[in-house]
Amino acid sequence: MRLRRRRLRGGILVEAVLSCCFFLPMIVFLIWAVLEVCYAYVIGVNMTEASQLAAHALSDEFAKDPSIVQSESKQQRILSRIRIPNMVSCNEQFTIPDGGWTTKSLPRSVTVTCSYLPGAGDPCLPLFPNPDPLKLAGQISIKSTSTSPLF
């Protein structure tokens, strides 16, 4: 009878260890994936905020000086004021797409896109995802586009 109980306890212990060896890596991977998705969301929110700030700043400057539409240096000067720590650190992250300045037809507007560029800027932006065991960094692009009316 005692031998039978020992075997039963030993079997339960082996089963518990094997279950942990199987499920523990899955749980760790799931937690990592959830954290990375949350970080991607935070990056997306910050790219939206930066593109909105840039579009509004260019719109305000247009009200004072309409020649900003043709002046890349004036646009870059405005964009250089927009920085979000660890999210926006250089002007390379901002683009005005083709047709981004709509000045000849109504409604008049300016459109700006802000992209997260891991490793760009000074200080360098953090890598995303980090760590990257699935080698997804080249396939992930986080960007946001905002449009602001011109007055």
- Tens of pLDDT, residue by residue over 125-150, are 999 988 888 888 888 999 999 999 99
Residue 2's pLDDT is: 63
Residues 7-13: what's their mean pLDDT?
69
Residue 1's pLDDT is: 62
Reply yes or no on whether the pLDDT at 7 is more than 90: no
Please answer whether residues 110 and 102 qualify as being in contact, where contact means their C-beta atoms are separated by less than 8 angstroms: yes
Residues 38-54: what's their mean pLDDT?
97
Q: What is the largest CA-CA distance in the chain?
A: 95
**Domains in the chain: boundaries:** 2-149
Distance CA 99, CA 92 (A): 19
Residue 3's pLDDT is: 59
Q: What predicted TM-score, i.e. pTM, was given to this entire model?
A: 0.84
- Single-letter amino acid, residue 99: G
DSSP conformational letter for 84 = B
Higher pLDDT: 145 or 20? It is 145
Give CA separation, 145 vs 50, 67, 133, 142, in Å.
Answer: 9, 23, 30, 11
Reply yes or no on whether the pLDDT at 80 is more than 90: yes
Reply yes or no on whether the pLDDT at 38 is more than 90: yes
Q: How do residues 82-102 score in pLDDT, each as one tens digit? A: 999 999 999 999 999 999 999
Distance CA 128, CA 119 (A): 9
Residue 122's pLDDT is: 86
